[in-house]
Amino acid sequence: MFVKVDSLLWSPLAAASLHVFEEFAWPGGFPRWYRTYRGNAKSVNRCFLVIINAGLLITLFEGAIAGRTPVGVALLLTFSAILFSNGCWHLWASYKSHSYSPGVISGVLVYLPLGLFEYSGWIRLGRASIRTSAVALLAGMSYPLWSAAYHRLPKNEPGTTPSE
C-alpha cells in the first residue's frame, strides 16, 4: 500500500475542520449538549471553545507545514492520537447519555480511522520510529484525562475570592 506524504500531512486538519463543523455549525449544538452532559459545566463557554478549537486548527496547520521534519511528524502523531481519543470520548458520551453528542459522527467515522491511517502511514514510510510513535500515542491518548481534570476544577464566580 502506497501512502502519499501530503495525505498524511493534511488529513488531520481536514478531519478536525469537519469535526468542528459538525459540533458547532451542522447540526451543531455541542456547547448546549455538553453543559447538559456535564451538569452545566461553566468551563465550557464561548471564549474557551473559540480558543481551544482555533488552537487545534492552527496547530494542525503548523503540523502540516512542518510535517516533513521529525518534530512535525511527532506533532501530527500526537494530535492524531488526541483526535482519536476525542472520537472515542464522543462515542462513550453518546452511549452514556443515550443521546447524540454533536461530533460523534465525524469522531467515529473520521477520527478513529484517521488515527490508524496516520500511525501506520508514518511508520511504514520510516518517518516515525516505534518509540516516537509510542510517546506520541501516550501523550495524545491522555487528552481525556487532563480534559476531564480541567473541567472538574472549581471555578470561581465573578466577584468572589478563591477559597483556601
Per-residue pLDDT of the chain (164 residues; tens, 9 = 90+): 578 999 999 999 999 999 999 999 999 999 999 988 888 677 788 999 999 999 999 999 999 999 899 999 999 999 999 999 999 999 999 999 999 999 999 999 999 999 999 999 999 999 999 999 999 999 999 988 888 777 776 554 444 444 43
Q: Phi first, then psi: what are they for 59, rounded to 5°?
A: -65, -40
Is residue 162 assigned to a domain?
no
Is residue 164 assigned to a domain?
no
How many domains does the structure of the chain reveal? 1
Domain, as residue range, for 59: 5-152
Buried b (16+ CB within 10 A) or exposed e, 119-145: bebbbeeebbeeebbeebbeebbebee
pTM of the model: 0.89
Is residue 83 assigned to a domain?
yes
Is residue 47 assigned to a domain?
yes
Show the cell assigned to 106: 465525524
